[in-house]
Structure 1
Amino acid sequence: MARKLIFGMNLTLDGYIAATGVDIGWSGPPSEELFQWWLDQELANEVSLYGRKLWETMSSYWPTGDQQPGATPAEIEFARNWRDTPKVVFSSTIDKAGWNTRLVTGDAVAEITRLKAGDGGPMGIGGAALAGAAMRAGLIDEYALATHPVLVGGGTPFFTALDNWVNLNLVETRTLPGGVVLTRYETRRGGQG
């Protein structure tokens, strides 16, 4: 059985994961419930796939996130899980990546296809360019969105331009404090056209 590939991120109501200038200040600190939901998503993943920019963001904080003053139990668990989970970073501009990470400099779509064909648990994918390439190649099995009630008018979109329609099935919806709406959709295979 092939591995499931899940693309999930925080985004604005108008569909951006970062505002113009790579500004993610619109999301603010997550509520305990939202952070726990993301932790649960991460704990379910057997492998994490990152583009360079998201890798740099995550690796600048999470290796020592459990040692930060005031770290909550969920943040401590997230940091430990982040360090322990095998990671693959796709980049042609960095030459090394630590913390249980393998660097891939070649064809990202070919490598993701190879990883999906293997046995194992779900893989999470993050980073707009990397996830966009996987989306265009039809490799995403599930979309997990934490939609925040803010409009930013431009920036880095969650969804990329596609060549074909992708039909989805809603599998979860939940409202959290601050008006954040969680939704998860599975790709309906065979229904693209």
Structure 2
Amino acid sequence: MRKLTFAMNTSLDGYVAAPGDDLGWSVPSDELFQWWSDRVGATDLALYGRRVWEGMSSHWPTADKQPDAAPAAIEYARRWRDMPKVVFSSTPTTVDWNTRLVTGDAVTEITRLKAEDGGPMDIVGATLAAAAMRAGLIDEYVLVTHPVLVGGGTPFFTALDSWVNLSLVETRPFPDGLLLTRYETRR
């Protein structure tokens, strides 16, 4: 069975985006950017919600072609394009860059994908992750906490019907007071 991880930047008060989908507070240091790039390189399949997909697909497919592209951005763009991706959206849209679209029930499809042979999967997007969280499908949570309070927006965690017990498996500081925490779900 494949492992499913939900990993995102979050504010100290628990939001992945501030009101208005503002992500200006979450600009990564070079070290953190490299960590995210290495994570993409190690991910066998990424599951995207529509909004995050729209943001990523509007930038990364051609980011390495920009005249001022840094080597790290060039590497990330290549890794992102090469990584197999699934986009979950009820809004008919086209997808590209090694991606397929799922318009049906996300929980059913994620359950099917977890049961397949293969490497680790990442779920990207708080709304999609919320559905997987409520269904008990997430095996690992990775929070990169930024020392900022944004006061509202899109929360990392959703309301749940029952507790999810976790075990802390890693902590790692990053420049500027950021802290990575990684938890595995105890089953």
Fold in common (TM above 0.5): yes
Deviation at 1:73, TM superposition (A): 2.0
The structure 1 residue matched to 2:163, chosen from 165, 168, 171, is: 165
The reply to whether residue 175 of structure 1 matches residue 173 of structure 2 is yes
Deviation at 1:70, TM superposition (A): 2.7
Deviation at 1:39, TM superposition (A): 1.1
For structure 2, the 5+ residue unaligned runs are none
More displaced, 105-114 or 161-170? 161-170
Deviation at 1:49, TM superposition (A): 0.4
Deviation at 1:169, TM superposition (A): 1.0
Aligned to 1:141: 139
- Distance in 1 (CA, whole Å) between partners of 2:93 and 2:13 is 35
For structure 1, the 5+ residue unaligned runs are none
1:32-181 to structure 2, matched below 5 A, reads 32-181=30-179
2:136 is paired with a residue whose SS is coil
Deviation at 1:10, TM superposition (A): 0.6
More displaced, 2-11 or 64-73? 64-73
The reply to whether residue 11 of structure 1 matches residue 10 of structure 2 is yes
Q: TM-score, normalised by structure 2?
A: 0.97
Aligned to 1:22: 21
Deviation at 1:119, TM superposition (A): 0.3
Deviations 1:41-61 (A, max 9, x none): 111110010000000000000
- Distance in 2 (CA, whole Å) between partners of 1:6 and 1:72 is 28
Deviations 1:161-193 (A, max 9, x none): 01111111111111111111011111111xxxx
- Distance in 2 (CA, whole Å) between partners of 1:160 and 1:16 is 11
Number of paired residues?
187
- Write the letter of the residue equivalent to 1:12: S
Q: CA RMSD in A?
A: 0.9
- Distance in 2 (CA, whole Å) between partners of 1:94 and 1:175 is 41
Deviation at 1:66, TM superposition (A): 1.2
Q: 1:9 to 1:46 in 2, by over 3 A?
A: same
2:5 is paired with a residue whose SS is strand
Q: TM-score, normalised by structure 1?
A: 0.94
1:21 is paired with a residue whose SS is helix
- Distance in 1 (CA, whole Å) between partners of 2:65 and 2:12 is 33
- Distance in 1 (CA, whole Å) between partners of 2:22 and 2:129 is 19
- Write the letter of the residue equivalent to 2:11: T
Deviation at 1:65, TM superposition (A): 1.4
